[in-house]
Amino acid sequence: MQDEALLNVKLSKGTIDLLRNFSTINKSILIQSGKFIQTMSLNKNIIAMTDIRENIPERMAIYDLPLFLGALSLFKQPMLFFPDDKKVIIYDEETKGKTTFYYSDPDIIATPPQFNPNIPEKELHFDLPQQDIQQLMQASKVYGVEDLCVYGYGGEYSICVKDKKNETSNVFSLPLKKVLFDNSPDNTSNADRQNFCYCFKVENLKLFDGSYHVCISRKNIANFTSLSTSSLNYYIALEPN
């Protein structure tokens, strides 16, 4: 039997904020015991994962994550108590308030498959500052466009939001600095590889606030790694050209 002290967990604001971000990817989540959480969108085109500060002693199958976060918001300093594998008790030591949150069937929650986080056939790398991400997201709303594209042409690199199906679409772009290329497996020169276009759907960029290192693979997937918390990673599918 576990020490009762280990069954009481105080969630940090950072972990709650990460769970709130993950809830925008999938409203359900299966949290295994330990210090690692992950989620996957229902369309299987977004996977997010990170380490957290707390050690979760029991598996938590949460069907309605926004509801769980709402329950946490009822308390000034929410604590979690894990009496068994069927429920968690949320309480506040100061006010003595408490509520019981029951888990769902874990089999109905979509979870990421086993995969190698070191994505294959890496093509290029660049850093994307938080300020640039915010400007691009704001521009996509202003113009009502849904594509975010990474361009290279003649040694100049940029990232923009546009409607790639419309040749007269409004476009907002920013320069990309220090774009690096991985070694080519097919003897293609860097000069030949500097002309490219990779596109995402803006709606799939459900990133936690911050700056990211971006790695794009020839397998039509990109890895966004947080520059402040290296364990926080998003794997996002690219759109076909």
pLDDT digits (tens, 9 = 90+) for 147-160: 999 999 988 999 99
The confidence score (pLDDT) of residue 187 equals 44
Encode pLDDT of 105-148 as tens digits: 999 999 999 888 889 999 999 999 999 999 999 999 999 999 99
pLDDT above 70 covers a percentage of the chain that reads: 93
Q: Which fold has domain 122-237?
A: Proliferating Cell Nuclear Antigen (3.70.10)
- Decide whether 4-108 matches 122-237 in CATH topology: yes
Instruction: Give the whole-angstrom CA distance, residue 60 versus residue 22.
Output: 15
Structure tokens at 8: 């009481």
Domain locations along the chain: 4-108, 122-237
**pTM of the predicted model, to two decimals?**
0.93
Work out the average pLDDT over 7-35. 97
Structure tokens at 43: 């369309």
Query: For residues 136 and 159, is the Cβ–Cβ distance under 8 A?
Result: yes
- Please give the sequence-ordered ranges of beta strands (E in DSSP) within 16-95, or none if there are none: 29-31, 34-40, 46-56, 60-62, 79-81, 87-91
Band of residue 191 on the pLDDT scale cut at 50, 70, 90: low
Q: Helices 65-73 and 13-25: crossing angle, nearest 10°?
A: 150
- Decide if domain 4-108 falls under CATH 3.70.10.10: yes
